[in-house]
Amino acid sequence: MSHGHLLKSTVKRGALLAAANWPLTLVQATAEMLFKLVIAVPLLGGIFLVALVLGADPDGLLSPDWREMAAATVAALLSHPVVLVAFLLAVGVAAIGGSLLVYLVKAGAVAVMVKAERDTDAIETAPLQLDHLARTSRFSVDMFIGSARALFPRYTRLGLMLTAMYLASGAAYFALLMASRTAGESWAVAALLTAVFVCWITAINLLYLLTQLVVAADDCSVATAARRVVSFLRRDWQRLSGVFTVVFVVVIVATGVSFVAAGLLGLIAFVPFVGLAVLPLQLLAWLFRALVFEYIGLTSMGAYLSLYRRASADLAEESLHDRLQPVSVPHGASAP
């Protein structure tokens, strides 16, 4: 099978597995929305805290982007350390609780995808039929809850490691960025640092996802899964890079389409009477965007699981073949 045909069939298999187990898309999208809502609550509380305690203007702190809102609120609180510490503690508690929820949901979703990929035949080559696709589904509430409970401790440790990597990488990035500005470097240096930082975070996210998949597929510890992921990358880096490229292009296209849709909705807001429908349309667009990106994530998950199962089967076959090879005896020596 050629590399292009294998890549196409692998991605198609992942997309069909994600479609068959469509409740996972809804569950994960709901968890992500709840996480953002949990983070937004202390941010909005911090804005009113700034307005009441420090006398700042709430309208000047409000921003459509929660990151900008957080930065503006923290900047206004810097002059009052006690209030700032209380605000950061509230945001930290909300972030930790929301992250634990995401880890729990992710554990159940990955376990369902692992079982679906393992139990499903060559669905990517068979004619597409709805009844066949429905039989491919392995989602059930009991299985989801049981798998989430079993994998949650390991996924929590892995998530905390990812958070530590984010913090260390962000601190190093901002330190290098400030050093370049102090040294009077051109904007090209800052752009290069930003590009390297984005590539580094993308690589970390890929390793994080693959480790999650291996932990669930092999039911092993995080350390064992990390070693197997490294071996998997060395063995099948070409296939992995192909799937990653396809998924990355799809994400870029989907992001561009979402930006265009947001811009068009912004233009409608200036039309009299019709602008009243912008808010529900924006909510629908936000919901649709969340579902699309979760579906893309599940598609990549199914594709990577297919590659890992195939690589594990090939490795086991090679190991068995090596054990069955006859031992050559030098001429004149007696066999043991």
pLDDT of amino acid 185: 63
Hunting for tokens 């998949």 — which residue is that? 213
Grade residue 75 by pLDDT with cuts at 50, 70 and 90: low
**pLDDT tens sequence across 139-154:** 889 999 999 999 999 9
pLDDT of amino acid 60: 53
Q: How far apart are CA 183 and CA 191, in angstroms?
A: 15
Q: How far apart are CA 152 and CA 173, in angstroms?
A: 31
**pLDDT tens sequence across 85-109:** 877 788 888 888 888 999 999 999 9
Q: Regarding predicted confidence, which is higher, 120 or 321? A: 120
Grade residue 188 by pLDDT with cuts at 50, 70 and 90: confident
Among 76-80, 203-207, 224-228, whose mean pLDDT is lowest? 76-80
Average pLDDT estimate for 313-318: 68
Q: Are 136 and 123 in contact (CB under 8 A)?
A: yes
Average pLDDT estimate for 67-84: 66
% pLDDT > 90, the chain: 27
Distance of CA 295 to the CA centre of its chain: 11
Q: Which whole-number Å values give the CA distances from 77 to 27, 44, 48, in the listed order?
A: 36, 14, 12
Total residue length of the chain: 336
pLDDT of amino acid 191: 82
Average pLDDT estimate for 126-132: 75
pLDDT of amino acid 335: 46
Residues 6 or more apart whose CB falls under 8 angstroms from that of 28 comprise 105, 106, 109, 294, 297, 298
Q: Is the pLDDT of residue 237 over 90?
A: no
Q: How far apart are CA 107 and CA 89, in angstroms?
A: 27
Q: Are 32 and 102 in contact (CB under 8 A)?
A: yes
Q: What is the mean pLDDT of the chain?
A: 80
Q: Is the pLDDT of residue 44 over 70?
A: yes
Average pLDDT estimate for 267-277: 60
Strands of 2-112 (E only): list them.
Answer: none
Hunting for tokens 């069955």 — which residue is that? 324
Q: Are 156 and 100 in contact (CB under 8 A)?
A: yes
Q: Is the pLDDT of residue 336 over 50?
A: no
Average pLDDT estimate for 31-50: 79
Out of 58-67, 148-157, 229-238, the most confident range is 148-157
Q: How far apart are CA 151 and CA 156, in angstroms?
A: 9
Look up the pTM and report it: 0.81
Q: Is the pLDDT of residue 329 over 50?
A: no
Torsion of Cα atoms, 43 then 48 then 52 then 55, to 10°: 80
Q: Are 225 and 218 in contact (CB under 8 A)?
A: yes
Q: Are 262 and 333 in contact (CB under 8 A)?
A: no
Using the Cα atoms of residue 249, residue 255, residue 259 and residue 262 in order, give the sign of their dihedral. Answer: positive
Q: Is the pLDDT of residue 307 over 70?
A: yes
pLDDT of amino acid 320: 59
**Burial bucket for residue 29 (CB in 10 Å: 0-12, 13-18, 19+):** buried
**pLDDT tens sequence across 11-30:** 888 899 999 899 999 999 99
Distance of CA 210 to the CA centre of its chain: 10
**pLDDT tens sequence across 210-234:** 999 999 999 899 999 999 999 999 8
